[in-house]
Amino acid sequence: MKIKITLISLFLTAISYGQYDWTKGELVLKSGDTLKGQIKLPMISKNLIAFNGKEKVKYRKNRKSKKTKYDETQVKKVIFRNSDTEVAYFEFIQTSEKKKGLFKIISSGKATLYARSVSITNSTPMYMGGPNGGTWNHWNYSFSDFNEFYVLKEDEKLASPLITARISRSFKKRAIEYFSDCPNLVSKLEKKIYVKDDIKDVVDEYNECE
């Protein structure tokens, strides 16, 4: 019986964390070291229990090198450089009192917008592509690549959800409440000048709000 439980646990853990493809990048550690090589990002399924408890980034120097895993206690930032003008940054943010997640930085300022794609099916999470299975890349931004968006103001420690894979509140209600200190932006949200697809524009306008 103990063996069966162990095997089930290992199986669920394995399929809870799908991985994006190996991509050339930089792993910036909290120790001050920067590792350059190939990086594989975790992708989590919300329908399955993750027994290991933490999302982990995989790193290897090259295809023949040994793989090493790093978690939120070790990773400061992940950087992918496609060109001088195409650079993508990923970092762990606090999404609840006890949980952190790895997100892509979409827009930054007095409020920073973060995004990630999570699988909400009962099957093994996809290895590449956005929530709808489309082409996904690390460098460019497309709303359709993600199904979760969180925002974090400079004086906050806990990020707030604006869009989640499992809908509990509408984007409009969440955004109006969160950006209540910017009346002009709130007015545009109430009039539906901005909808959830415009989430980056919403945060960018908030960062320019005086």
Residue from 14, 4, 78, 69 nearest 45 by CA: 14
Decide which of 16 and 86 is more confident: 86
Domain residue extents for the chain: 2-168
44, 125 Cβ separation under 8 angstroms: yes
- Residue 18 is encoded by which pair of tokens? 């799908």
In whole angstroms, what is the distance from residue 77 CA to residue 10 CA?
28
Residue 42 has pLDDT above 60, yes or no: yes
Contact partners, residue 49, CB within 8 Å, separation at least 6: 12, 16
In whole angstroms, what is the distance from residue 111 CA to residue 125 CA?
30
Summarize the confidence of residues 136-146 as an average pLDDT: 82
Residue 34 has pLDDT above 50, yes or no: yes
Residue 60 has pLDDT above 60, yes or no: yes
The pLDDT tens digits for 146-196 are: 999 999 999 999 999 999 988 788 999 999 999 999 999 999 999 999 999
Q: Strands, DSSP E only, in the chain? A: 17-19, 23-29, 34-40, 42-44, 57-60, 68-70, 75-81, 87-94, 100-107, 111-116, 148-153, 160-163
Contact partners, residue 43, CB within 8 Å, separation at least 6: 17, 18, 19, 20, 117, 118, 119, 125, 126, 127
Q: For residue 121, what pLDDT band results from cuts at 50, 70 and 90?
A: low
Region label for 138, one of left (φ > 0), alpha (ψ between -120 and 50) or beta (otherwise): alpha
pLDDT at 136: 59
